[in-house]
Amino acid sequence: MSQYYSPKRTRGLFDPESEEPFRISRSKIDLFLECPRCFYLDRRLGIGRPPGYPFSLNSAVDALLKKEFDIHRAQHTAHPFMKAYGIDAIPFEHEKMDEWRDSLRAGVQYLHEATNLMVTGGVDDVWINPKGELIIADYKATSKNGEVNLDAEWQDGYKRQMEVYQWLFRQNGFKVSETGYFVYCNGKADKEAFDGKLEFDVKLIPYKGDDSWIEGTIKDIKKCLMSDSIPKSSQDCDYCRYCQAVSETKTK
């Protein structure tokens, strides 16, 4: 049977009367910040946004980078990227590394007792420096002219992603560096021929995170979930604007 989008589901919904911890992933935190209405419809009423197309090429780049870094993890050596950028660190070896990477079934988890929300997130990689600080690394892939950076407004979500990961490891008792790294792979489109392969320029972009917003956001999320009223949509939400335009359209 072919896969199709089902706009309504009954599993995995928040129940205000339940005493069981409710799982909130890093991506759902970002959804709440994008649009509280879409978040509420998804987590409380089971009406999720239509899914986007899978980025298979990005997934392939992620998998290959993880294999590369895992070789150096096993050997306790620095990856050449680290040496090239003067980063004094090596990939962090830990028995839970595979679990931390599994965003769908596990990830890094922390029970926020004040709200009874289980906050989770799946990291790409974790490094460690001589001070014993963990360095969060996140892999990104794109293809664009010029240098890659984090200057676009839509990339604010990347920054929040890094900060949630840093926060989660801190809540799990780890010492975490304020600076994380985006391993940004930029596909070259200026080659004379394809020749059955795509080459990438790889750039390590440092980012100093600030997780001070997370505690308050988690409390706001719980307040939203407990409400019996659907919150207002974000002014910038394309999904809500589309739904409003459809509802206002009169058909014969």
Strand bridging mode 117-121 / 22-25: parallel
Tens digit of each residue's pLDDT (9 = 90 or more) over 197-230: 767 788 899 999 999 999 999 999 999 999 999 9
Spatial CB neighbours of 185, under 8 Å, sequence gap ≥ 6: 61, 65, 139, 140, 141, 142, 200, 201, 202
Q: Using the structure block, give the residue that is written with the tokens 């999320």.
A: 221
Looking at the predicted structure, is the pLDDT value of residue 2 above 60? Answer: no
Tokens of 80: 């050449």
Alpha-carbon separation of residue 122 from 7, 27, 102, 228 (angstroms): 25, 10, 6, 31
Range 22-246: architecture per CATH: Alpha-Beta Complex (3.90)
Mean pLDDT lowest among 9-18, 50-59, 72-81, 136-145:
50-59
Q: Are 125 and 69 in contact (CB under 8 A)?
A: yes
Distance of CA 176 to the CA centre of its chain: 18
Q: Are 47 and 7 in contact (CB under 8 A)?
A: yes
Looking at the predicted structure, is the pLDDT value of residue 67 above 70? Answer: yes
Amino acid 109 reads Q
Global pTM? 0.90
Looking at the predicted structure, is the pLDDT value of residue 115 above 60? Answer: yes
Query: What is the average pLDDT value for the chain, to the nearest integer?
Result: 90
Q: Are 62 and 139 in contact (CB under 8 A)?
A: yes
Task: Compute the average pLDDT of residues 11-31.
Answer: 95
Res. 1 pLDDT band, cuts 50 70 90:
very low
Selected residue with higher pLDDT from 147 and 192: 147
Looking at the predicted structure, is the pLDDT value of residue 160 above 90? Answer: yes
DSSP 8-state secondary structure symbol assigned to residue 7? S
